[in-house]
Structure 1
Amino acid sequence: MRPPRFWAAGADHPAARCLAPLGAAYGALTARRMDRPGAQAGCPVLCLGNFTLGGAGKTPAAIAVAALLVELGRRPAFLSRGYGGRLTGPVRVDPDSHAAVEVGDEPLLLARHAPTIVSRDRPAGAALCRALGADVIVMDDGLQNPTLSKDLAWAVVDAGAGIGNGRPFPAGPLRAPLERQWPHVAGLILVGDGAPGAAVAESAERRGLPVHRARLVPDGADLSGRRCLAFAGIGRPDKFFETLRGTGAVIVQARPFPDHHPYRAAELAALAAEADRLGAELVTTEKDAVRLPAAFAARIRVLRVRLVPDDRAALLRQIRQAL
């Protein structure tokens, strides 16, 4: 799905006001659900979620947190719902045999870094994590899911988008009213720069919550001076295009697609033909690449990114306290 433009146009936009009653009902139901007690996992559970629908950088943040846990001598495992995949789980993700249509695109990325379990039933997924030897569970998403008790939950916020118009879905991007979500988080991970995110960070700091500022850093690809046809089906494709430009690449055409977009053969053929016409290389995100057929993936460049916290020591301190 593509987020509607009015989500970023202010709370007084006519469409937002018209949908406000539905948003109030949806937000109230989600908030009540968040307040329910969850099952104990038998080991610490760290959750990387977000206040809104759509992407915010949760997966790179989860990978960064898992790396810090390994540094502390722990054995983390990732737990994901597997959005976009058909397997309900619990199942361990094998990136060599599973496809995105089975387990979702994000779990395939996570599984390259630590054991990863996909499970719609989070407590059952946590039990499998423990059976595989994990002594701490890192949840990618699930802030609004109450079925598993969390020892530490961060809200990951894309600074360029913030919380949009501040209204609950469908009037805006919030999953529940922000005031009802604050009690469920122990801090913020603010990705990138931007006034929308700065406003959320100020609100967190007024509540005494730590704000861990971080940025996405390109990892590995040398694209400086290269002509690129960039395409991305993520929560905010413009963020990818900005990162790609920051490497020195010359974007001759940028093609945004909806988040988790299942690319059709005709779309891929059109992208390849356009790249040939422009004398450009096809470049996309790592998350998009795992959704592409192998024959097409072989001709594209992938811009990998990693999340780098500005104050790594502060993030480590909060992790240690939770453990």
Structure 2
Amino acid sequence: MMPKQAPAFWHNDSWPGVVLLPLGWVFAACVRLRRFLYHTNILKQQRLSVPVIIVGNITVGGTGKTPLVIYIARLLKQAGFKPGIISRGYGGNAASQPQSVTAHSHVQQVGDEALLIASQSDCPMTVGALRVDAARLLLAQNDCDVILSDDGLQHYALARDIEIAVIDGGRRFGNGYCLPAGPLREPVARLQQVDMIVVNGEKTDAREFSMQLAGTVAVNISSGESRPLSTFTGIACHALAGIGNPERFFTSLAAAGLVCESHYFPDHHPFSQQDITFLDDKPVLMTEKDAVKCTLFASHQHWYVPVKALLNADFSEQLLHLLKTKYDR
């Protein structure tokens, strides 16, 4: 199927972005006003009884937040904390919110990212459009001493103690314009206020921490069999992705030596059996986020490539130090 991605002009200075730039200025002004209203307490922030860590971004599209959230959740547990996770639950259609998420939740109700995070982090998790309500349910049902929010950098109703912004190292900020002229949810200057900046790729600034996503195996969705990704080199394959930046997945497969026919789907696409069935018996590779929506109808030819975030020890040390200051103050 044809790609459904961000407009191409978001990542260059072509004329559509320039034409829409006045609307981008209006959007940026509204964003600044809203932030000012929360900063001056005209709009009320809700503060919780435990520290809150926000992992978000200032651009539209995937930046790698999900593997970073899983990485941080595991880091906090290893350091002796009892983290709980909240998320919007995008793609879920539950009749009531907020609600708890476990590894056995239905992806149609809680969303693909939430199900993946709950499965991989082994932490209590809740989802809801209002993150304050999701956090309160989480604390009411679980013994947590820190809350990790998947996304929500712009959800100012929830007071936060630590903000971590994630940047796509390849696309960065596109043309540098705010919506709809460009991909920015907030002006780039917003990064001056966050506590930490993680770049999915190579960093370009001393403040930034570089994160690499490593995927070296493929797991069969139907049987659970695991094989080295190199097993698929020299074999014609299909690759599909319904994520914010599908090109990153396809590029990673090519870098591993795989030759794949790429199939693009919208982010959070509700996959059906027809979507992943092709008129041949070639292996079909997908992301783990997409695989959680295909477990009921996947066959022997369907595989997913799990990835994990890799960061230098200085990121972990600085984050734990920041968190400790929130307990000591």
| TM superposition score category, shorter chain reference | 0.7 to 0.9
**1:51-130 matches, cutoff 5 A:** 51-87=58-94, 89-99=97-107, 101-112=108-119, 113=121, 114-130=123-139
- State whether structure 2 residue 277 is matched by structure 1 residue 239: no
Change (3 A) 1:148 1:229: same
Task: Give the share of equivalent positions with the same residue, in percent.
Answer: 35
- State whether structure 2 residue 148 is matched by structure 1 residue 145: no
- State whether structure 2 residue 260 is matched by structure 1 residue 255: no
**1:257-276 matches, cutoff 5 A:** 257-269=265-277, 272-273=278-279, 276=280
Change (3 A) 1:97 1:177: closer
2:212 corresponding residue in structure 1: 215
Structure 1 residues 201-227: Cα deviation after superposition (integer angstroms, max 9, x where no partner): 43xx4xxxx311110011543121412
Question: Is the 1:230–1:251 contact (alpha carbons within 8 Å) kept by the matching residues of 2?
Answer: no
Change (3 A) 1:16 1:304: same
Deviation at residue 20 of structure 1 after TM alignment:
1.1
Gaps of 5+ in 1: none
Deviation at residue 293 of structure 1 after TM alignment:
5.2
**1:194-209 matches, cutoff 5 A:** 198=203, 201-202=204-205, 205=206
Q: How many corresponding residue pairs?
A: 299
Structure 1 residues 257-302: Cα deviation after superposition (integer angstroms, max 9, x where no partner): 2211223444333xx22xx1xx520000001111225112664111
Gaps of 5+ in 2: 40-44, 219-227, 325-329
With normalisation by structure 2, the TM-score equals 0.85
Letter in structure 1 aligned against 2:297: A
Change (3 A) 1:297 1:232: farther
Distance in 1 separating the partners of 2:149 and 2:300: 31
Secondary structure of 1:53's aligned partner:
coil
Distance in 2 separating the partners of 1:189 and 1:16: 27
Distance in 1 separating the partners of 2:86 and 2:248: 26
Question: Is the 1:28–1:177 contact (alpha carbons within 8 Å) kept by the matching residues of 2?
Answer: no
Letter in structure 2 aligned against 1:296: A
Deviation at residue 2 of structure 1 after TM alignment:
1.8
Secondary structure of 2:316's aligned partner:
helix
Change (3 A) 1:297 1:142: farther
Question: Is the 1:219–1:306 contact (alpha carbons within 8 Å) kept by the matching residues of 2?
Answer: no
Distance in 2 separating the partners of 1:19 and 1:79: 34
Change (3 A) 1:296 1:157: same
Aligned-CA RMSD value: 1.9
Greater mean alpha carbon deviation, residues 135-144 or residues 256-265: 256-265
Question: Is the 2:276–2:284 contact (alpha carbons within 8 Å) kept by the matching residues of 1?
Answer: no
Question: Is the 1:119–1:125 contact (alpha carbons within 8 Å) kept by the matching residues of 2?
Answer: yes
1:16 corresponding residue in structure 2: 17
Secondary structure of 2:152's aligned partner:
coil
Structure 1 residues 239-272: Cα deviation after superposition (integer angstroms, max 9, x where no partner): 1112223333x22311122211223444333xx2
Deviation at residue 236 of structure 1 after TM alignment:
1.2
Secondary structure of 2:230's aligned partner:
coil
- State whether structure 2 residue 313 is matched by structure 1 residue 312: yes
Letter in structure 2 aligned against 1:215: Q
With normalisation by structure 1, the TM-score equals 0.87
Question: Is the 1:23–1:172 contact (alpha carbons within 8 Å) kept by the matching residues of 2?
Answer: yes
**Runs of 4+ displaced beyond 6 Å:** none
